[in-house]
Amino acid sequence: MALRVDATLLIRKIRDLRSLTFRRYRVKEKWAASRPKHPPTSLAQQHFDVTYNTQLGQLWPSVRVALLSERKYGALLNHFCNDAFVEDLHSQGCTDFITGTDREVRAGLECDSEFEVEKRDDVVQQQSSLPHLSPNIKCFVFPRGDITRFKPARPDMSGLLSYYLMDAASVLPCLALDVHEGHNVLDLCAAPGGKTLALLQTQAIGFLCLNDASVSRTLRLRKVLHSYIPKQLLSQERLRITSFDGTKWAGIEPNTYDRVLVDVPCTTDRHSLMEDDNNIFTKSRTGERRQLPQLQLGLLLAGVVAACPGGEIVYSTCTLSHIQNVGVVEQAIYLAQENHGIQLQVVDLRPFTHMFRNTFHFASDLHLGEMVVPHLAANFGPIYMCKLRRLT
């Protein structure tokens, strides 16, 4: 009863307040005829609540909160930009998570060896088994728990931008690809080009083929490249940009590339939860969404066939979905053997991700591949990656 009285009082008070507000300042809620009854973001939320509750169990509520909170970015440093913005980034309080981590791990091993001489052989062995990281890929992040935003990148004298803002975890598949001097590289789904820029920073690629099935997104990719890469490098014969259906690549260029990046379209979980625009959970795109695993499998298999024997392939997504991640890789390994006689080896990325454990949260229980899981203190990802080596 007391509660009902309080509620009545409250309503009366709100009415009084409304009568004090000028009519033209009153906000009347409107329902546009075009507003969907079930916006795609809430459909995505319902879908993820069901599937990820089962998949992630107790972890899901905290991952969900992180996904619905402001994400963190990384600033991929552009080596082709003439002005040194590194000092500027340092003065803002951020550091390059790649160089920093690499140095720390190697220094840690050397430090151990000073105290226990007999363990030196061990250390040499451990050092040689440490994953090779391109010294030229640099990505700045703010410390854990710090959600400061980066300022927009500034252009140098020739108009090239100093850094590219992207999810710092997106750099990991490019690092894992481990491009060496003179390698032929295929980026099968390249637009809008964040990972392409990271690959180009290695300055080691012999020939780079960039492909994306979407013509409009390929145009965006070209624009990004023109904002970050000097013209003379873009016009060289060492770079090719195409707009083909990547699933058909096996028929175009089999057994060709040393490294293949297959960064497939997926349910883009973070985007689907936050943005109604261009959302794969829109009712009219249900069919497309359901076909995603099939498309991802076709793209990964095409990437595998495009790699040369001994070549390496990195498959990546920005979803937590087991079906789109581990499920696709498992099927690809089986079908590569069955349909193409190609034997694949899964490359263990644990030593690699271990190096970055202070920057990202990694899923602990995946039997295939590695995944950056969003966390409030380090709100990057989701990014899944799995590295495969062609044995035949």
Ligand X SMILES: C[S@@+](CC[C@H](N)C(=O)[O-])C[C@H]1O[C@@H](n2cnc3c(N)ncnc32)[C@H](O)[C@@H]1O
CA–CA separation, 231 and 218 (whole Å): 17
Rank residues 249 and 360 by Cβ distance to ligand X and give the closer one.
249
Footprint on residues 253-292 left by ligand X (CB under 6 A):
263-265
Enumerate the H helices of the chain as residue ranges: 2-20, 40-56, 60-67, 86-91, 97-115, 120-129, 171-177, 194-201, 215-228, 231-234, 249-252, 269-274, 286-306, 328-340, 350-354
Measured from the CB of residue 7, what is the shortest distance to ligand X in angstroms?
A: 49
Quickly tell me which residue has 């973070």 as its tokens. 270
What is the helix (H) or strand (E) element at residue 37, kind and residue range?
A: none
* 318 tagged catalytic: yes
Among 40, 74, 131, 193, binds ligand X (CB under 6 A): 193
Among 64, 195, 322, 375, binds ligand X (CB under 6 A): 195
Asked if 191 interacts with ligand X (CB under 6 A), we say: yes
Stretch that binds ligand X, among 66-74, 101-109, 189-197, 373-381 (CB under 6 A): 189-197
Binding mask 228-247 for ligand X (x = CB under 6 A): -----------------xxx
Stretch that binds ligand X, among 143-151, 185-193, 231-239, 381-389 (CB under 6 A): 185-193
131 phi, psi to nearest 5 deg: -60, 145
Q: List all residues 6 or more positions away from 226 whose beta carbon is below 8 Å from its beta carbon.
A: 234
Measured from the CB of residue 8, what is the shortest distance to ligand X in angstroms?
A: 54
Quickly tell me which residue has 């076709």 as its tokens. 298
Rank residues 81 and 199 by Cβ distance to ligand X and give the closer one.
199
Q: Is 284 helix (H, G, I), strand (E, B) or coil?
A: helix
Q: Which one of the listed residues 81, 174, 318, 386 is annotated catalytic?
A: 318
Rank residues 143 and 327 by Cβ distance to ligand X and give the closer one.
327
Rank residues 75 and 213 by Cβ distance to ligand X and give the closer one.
213
Measured from the CB of residue 59, what is the shortest distance to ligand X in angstroms?
A: 24
Residue 146 DSSP code = -
Measured from the CB of residue 317, what is the shortest distance to ligand X in angstroms?
A: 7
Measured from the CB of residue 249, what is the shortest distance to ligand X in angstroms?
A: 8
Among 42, 214, 227, 242, binds ligand X (CB under 6 A): 214
Tokens of 1: 């009863």
Residue 371: CA count within 13 A, CB half-sphere: 22
Q: Residues for the chain: how many in total?
A: 392
Q: List all residues 6 or more positions away from 50 whose beta carbon is below 8 Å from its beta carbon.
A: none
Q: List all residues 6 or more positions away from 100 whose beta carbon is below 8 Å from its beta carbon.
A: none
Among 192, 303, 311, 382, binds ligand X (CB under 6 A): 192
Footprint on residues 80-99 left by ligand X (CB under 6 A):
none
CA–CA separation, 117 and 138 (whole Å): 34
Measured from the CB of residue 226, what is the shortest distance to ligand X in angstroms?
A: 15
Asked if 173 interacts with ligand X (CB under 6 A), we say: no
Asked if 167 interacts with ligand X (CB under 6 A), we say: no
Tokens of 371: 């995944």
Active site (catalytic) residues? 318
Q: Which residues bind ligand X (CB under 6 A)?
A: 170, 188-195, 211-214, 217, 245-247, 263-265
